[in-house]
C-alpha cells in the first residue's frame, strides 16, 4: 500500500440547534462534524463530492463509529481533525475532535466509504484509478513543497 499522508481540520463553534435541552451536543450531530472535516480532506486532493460524481463514482458511507470521550456543549469551539487511514480498497477516515484551547480529546471515530459506479450502482472492490491519481498528485506536490521549505 502506498503511503499518503493526508489530513485536514475544521474549527467550528457549535450552535444552539446542535444541542439537546441540557445544552449538550446531540449525539447524531457528531457525524455532521466528521462530515465537515472529511469534505475538507477530499477537497484538499481536488476530489470533492462534485468531482466524485463527475468521475462516475459515488462513495456511500457503509460503516461509521464514534466514541464519546467528553461532552461537547453548544457555543463551544471545537477542532475536528480528519486523517486518511486507508484508500486502496475503501476510504477509511479517522477523526479526532478536540478542544483547541485545552487540547483535550472530546471524541474520536471513523467512517468507511466504498466506491459505487454511478451508471450501474455496482460496488467496486478496489478504489478507482481517479482516486489513486489524485492522491499521488497530492503526495508528489506535498513532497515538492516540503523540499522547497527545507532548502
Question: Residue 84: inside a domain, yes or no?
Answer: yes
Structural domain harbouring 72: 7-150
122 DSSP assignment: P
Asked if residues 97 and 30 have their Cβ atoms less than 8 Å apart, the reply is: yes
Cell 491519481 found at = 133
Asked, for residue 92, whether it belongs to a domain, the answer is yes
Question: What's this model's pTM, rounded to 2 decimal places?
Answer: 0.90
SS (H, E, C) the chain: CCCCCCEEEEEEECCHHHECCCCEECCCHHHHHHHHHHHHHHHHCCCCHHHHHHCCEECCEEEEEEEECCCCECCCEEEEEEEEEECCCCEEEEEEEECCCCCCEEEEEEEEECCEECCCCCECCCCCHHHHHHHHHHHHHHHHHHHHHHC
As for how many domains the chain has, the answer is: 1
| 117-148: pLDDT as tens digits | 999 999 999 999 999 999 999 988 766 665 44
In a domain, 42, yes or no: yes
pLDDT digits (tens, 9 = 90+) for 42-80: 999 999 999 999 999 999 999 999 999 999 999 999 999
Q: Which three cell numbers stand for residue 128?
A: 478507482
2 within domain boundaries: no
Tell whether 48 is covered by a domain. Answer: yes
Identify whether 98 is part of a domain. Answer: yes
CATH number of the domain where residue 70 is located: 3.10.129.10
Q: Could you give the 3-state DSSP secondary structure of residue 60? A: coil
Assess if residue 54 is contained within a domain.
yes
To the query of whether residue 94 is one of the catalytic residues in this protein, the response is no
Q: Which of 20, 46, 63, 133 is catalytic?
A: 20
First to last CA, the chain: 29
Amino acid at each position: 500500500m502506498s503511503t499518503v499522508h493526508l489530513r485536514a481540520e475544521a474549527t467550528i463553534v457549535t450552535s444552539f440547534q446542535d444541542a439537546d435541552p441540557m445544552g449538550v451536543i446531540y449525539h447524531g450531530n457528531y457525524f455532521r462534524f466528521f462530515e465537515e472535516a472529511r469534505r475538507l480532506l477530499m477537497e484538499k486532493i481536488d476530489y470533492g463530492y462534485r468531482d466524485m460524481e463527475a468521475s462516475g463514482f459515488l462513495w456511500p458511507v457503509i460503516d461509521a463509529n464514534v466514541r464519546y470521550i467528553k461532552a461537547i456543549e453548544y457555543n463551544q469551539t471545537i477542532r475536528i481533525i480528519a486523517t486518511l487511514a486507508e484508500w486502496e480498497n475503501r476510504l477509511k477516515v479517522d477523526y479526532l475532535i478536540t478542544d483547541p484551547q485545552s487540547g483535550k480529546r472530546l471524541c474520536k471515530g471513523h467512517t468507511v466509504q466504498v466506491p459505487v459506479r454511478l451508471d450501474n450502482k455496482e460496488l467496486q472492490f478496489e478504489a478507482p484509478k481517479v482516486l489513486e491519481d489524485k492522491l499521488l498528485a497530492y503526495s508528489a506536490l506535498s513532497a515538492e513543497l516540503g523540499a522547497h521549505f527545507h532548502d
